[in-house]
Chains A and B, each alone.
Chain A
Amino acid sequence: MKYDRIITAALLSVGFFLLFLAVWHIGTYQEEHTVEAVELTSEQVAILEEAGMSASDKETYSSQGLTFDQINQIASMGLTLDDIEMAGGLEAFGFTTGGAAEEAKTGFPSPALVWEEAYYQLSDPFYDRGPNDKGIGTQLKYSLFRVGMGFFLAVIVAVPLGFLIGMSPLLNMALMPYIQILKPISPLAWLPVALFLIKDSEKASIFVIFVCSIWPMLINTSFGVANVKNDWLNIAKTLECSKFRTAYSVILPAAAPTIFTGMRISLSIAWLVIVAAEMVIGGIGVGYFVWNEWNGLNLASMIFAIFIIGIVGLCLDLTLGQFVKIFSYED
């Protein structure tokens, strides 16, 4: 029964994904535009010749489907085919296409196009073509490093501090208002401040991760510590455990699942934040990758990057989820 449900769910998942791909494909489908040669009247040819256009240029234009008005405009500007080539070719002028390609350029990329981009990127994920063009693998490495550093620092600060706050109702009441005020501040609001104060964009982005991932851990830790069952604490008291021993052997294991849940939330936030921070700071990282593709208005690789960000986020979350499982217990 249980396995049946898993299989059904899996099939349903795949079905949803295929449906999504199909809708995407249909939504972005475009008929190929065929070029039809244009016949010029002898009068029109005479006008073009008068304007000094060479016969071969004229033929190329008309075979590419340019209208007489368009050809005449080129002729009256005194532009040769070479000039047009040097300026990026006819297609870049939006000429041969009759508007269809214009839509294609502005339109959303098809699944096939994104797949092509993904294949290209993943076939050599660690390429290095200069400081501003590195493979997606390298970009992820840098992002994960920043997230790791910021998150690690946050753990070091948040868990002990959360312990203190949880064990002391007085501290809890005194500090909670600040925590609640600081918690909802967006990373992008911290970033300029961090840049100004720290004067180093690498450290600033780590700081932003730190500052955004500290709150859920702090709140969860203090909550977990404060809500350890009184019975257990009383037993520890009757056994005359020292304060430290109580904290270490009773409170910590009891609060561990809540603490890890806090970490899990924090890590998801850290991963959200790094993309935003790197988009602003630039340099290197998966956020920079998205930004760089945005600046080239290259939607296909942006969508690819979005998928990758999602998948990496999922992996991070699953990893911490395992920890939560290990430390959870039943009453």
Chain B
Amino acid sequence: MATNDPFDPNVNIWDECGETSEASNRPDHFIDILQSPLERDSQEFLAKRAKEEDGPGVGVSRALESAVMRNVFGSDLNRRKFLKAVGSVAAYGILSQFIPFDSLRAMTEDAVKNIEKKKLKVGFVPITCATPIVAGHALGFYEKYGLDVEIIKTAGWAVSRDKCMNGEYDASHLLAPMPAAMSMGLGSAAQDWRMVTNVNTNGQAIVLANKHKDKRDPSKWKGMKFGVPFEYSMHNLLLRLYVSEHGIDPDKDIQIRVVPPPEMVANLRAENVDGYLAPDPFCQRAVYDGVGFIHMLTKELWDQHPCCCFGISQRFINENPNTFIALTSAILDATATAEKADQRVHFAEAMAPRNYLNQPSAILKQILTGVYPDGLGNIKKVPDRISFMPFPAQSMGMWILGQLRRWDYIKEDVDFAKISDNIFMSAEVEKRMNLMAEHNKNIKWTDIPDTKYPVYDIYGKKFDPTKINDYINNFTITRTNG
């Protein structure tokens, strides 16, 4: 996704109400007829600049130029009129006299040079949740921010955690509750990790084996075995929430076992589990392989729930602050692009090869476009089956911590707000997101809440983080009393 060149009169670099850019809609074949010498020079100039697009740091320097142009002209219409009248070459010349674009560029190149560590290793588990991380590599988002990232496929979450803690990965695709669990030393040694952004929201489903087609009522699930990808996962917490709301005790009435995502379908086929709450593509894959059906999407439990995140250690942030900013920007840019409906097919195709998710592209397309068979003979159309909303809201952190407490993963009462504040980087990421949106009109965020603690509707219950204890104690099945 190229940033728009602020010296191109035919593009809109920042949105203003009531302004449309008709010129940019002009079909290409008119250009030759309409072109004056002035325009031709401009075209060449712009083409030359467009070629620079691939270079490291250009995204940043275009953003800076856009910001300058905005201050000079006040409105996009003025900017375009001016560029059309004098031509892009002259405009650049005139403006350069007053504003040191070249040294600005040098400054941004410096910023790229200041990246402490260019070669990075980022881990991922091969699931569609990792779309921004994987497609970030496949579609060149990391290069755009001056980084040389190698993404390493990882077999499961426990190995991911260990490789993160061993320092083999500089950053990693993690499950949203994992940075908290790792920082608090739940199930491992304690090491400070941060939940930087959501790499996806929604995107999970409860899948049941075909033989349970008549067992759609969860209160009849006693004695069944379910797979979740990890203990400290939204999958585990959401499955527990779902069955317990139907009177099933997740610790006593059913068995929840940890199965790495890639092994889910094989286990379902072998009748090792009766169903699972797992990430895609392994939900749709069960349908594709004819071994299971989609009972429900987790979106129906909590719309826009967090799932997987981009995690990084506090130590890495301290040691490589500029790298951290560049990496976060690359991930945010990829996340924003993945959310666009017109990009979904492109992303699905980019992620299909062996090096990435190693799946038939048809399955990935079904998941990302949200048009899919559910295994019961129906076609469904749910465009936000998986969404890419990066903002790591404090309320998400609070809910996760609250549920970890509810199920006794956290053994004692703790200051949820304080822990969440430490781990979920909402303040820093909000700043970064706003900055990016300001400079790149292609990026629009819809998920930044007005308040620090937005209230969510989660499976019929209101979750207000400011009254978290009331919420936790409002469940009939709970482990808080030990």
Residues of A that sit less than 8 Å from B by CB: 73-74, 77-79, 83-84, 86-89, 91-94, 102-103, 105-106, 129-133, 192, 195-196, 199-201, 279-283, 288, 291-298
Find chain A residues with CB under 8 A from B248 CB. Answer: none
Q: Which residues of B contact A291 (CB under 8 A)?
A: 155, 262
Q: Mark B258-281, 1 if CB is under 8 A from A, else 0.
A: 000011011001000000000000
| A130–B381 touching, CB < 8 Å | no
Q: Could you list which residues of chain B lie within 8 angstroms of chain A, going by C-beta atoms?
A: 126, 137, 150-156, 158-159, 162-163, 165-168, 262-263, 265-266, 269, 285, 288-291, 344-345, 353-366, 369, 371-373, 378-379, 381
Which residue of B has the minimal Cβ distance to A102? B290
Bound state CA distance, A281 and B168, in angstroms? 12
Task: Say yes or no: A73-B265 contact (C-beta < 8 A), given A88-B361, A201-B163, A281-B155.
Answer: no
9 pairs across A/B with beta carbons < 8 Å? A86-B369, A87-B365, A105-B290, A106-B291, A132-B153, A280-B156, A282-B155, A293-B358, A294-B266
Are the CB atoms of A195 and B162 closer together than 8 Å?
yes
State the CA gap A103–B288 with chains docked (Å): 10
Please measure, in the bound complex, the distance between the C-alpha atom of A63 and the C-alpha atom of B362, giving whole angstroms.
Answer: 21
Tell me whether A295 and B355 are in contact (CB under 8 A): no
With A87-B366, A280-B155: A292-B354 Cβ-Cβ less than 8 Å? yes
CA–CA, A105 and B291, complex, Å: 11
A-B interface, 4 closest residue pairs, ranked by CB to CB distance from nearest: A88-B362, A295-B262, A92-B362, A133-B355
List residues of chain A with CB within 8 A of the CB of B151. Answer: 131-132
In the docked arrangement, what's the CA distance between A235 and B398, Å? 81
Cα–Cα, bound, A294→B288 (Å): 15
Are B167 and A132 interface neighbours, CB within 8 A?
no
When C-beta atoms are compared, the residue in chain B nearest to A199 turns out to be B166
A133–B379 contact, CB under 8 A?
A: no
Residues from chain A with a CB closer than 8 A to the CB of B265 are 297
Knowing A88-B365, A294-B263, A294-B266 are in contact, say whether A83-B159 is a contact too (CB < 8 A).
no
- Other 16 A-B pairs with CB < 8 A, given A89-B362, A294-B263: A83-B369, A83-B371, A86-B345, A88-B362, A92-B363, A94-B290, A105-B289, A130-B355, A131-B152, A131-B355, A132-B151, A201-B159, A201-B166, A283-B152, A296-B358, A296-B359
Enumerate chain B residues within 8 angstroms of A84, measured Cβ to Cβ: 371
Please, which residues of chain A bring their CB within 8 A of the CB of B266?
294, 297
- A296 near B354 (CB under 8 angstroms)? yes
| Contact indicator A92/B360 (Cβ below 8 Å) | yes
Q: Which single member of A74, A132, A200 contacts B166 (CB below 8 Å)? A: A200
User: Known: A86-B371, A131-B151, A279-B155. Is A200-B354 also a contact (CB below 8 A)?
Assistant: no
CB B50 to nearest CB in A, in angstroms, measures 27
Question: Of B126, B163, B360, which one neighbours A295 at CB under 8 angstroms?
Answer: B126
With known contacts A73-B379, A92-B363, A280-B155, A133–B354 Cβ distance under 8 A? yes
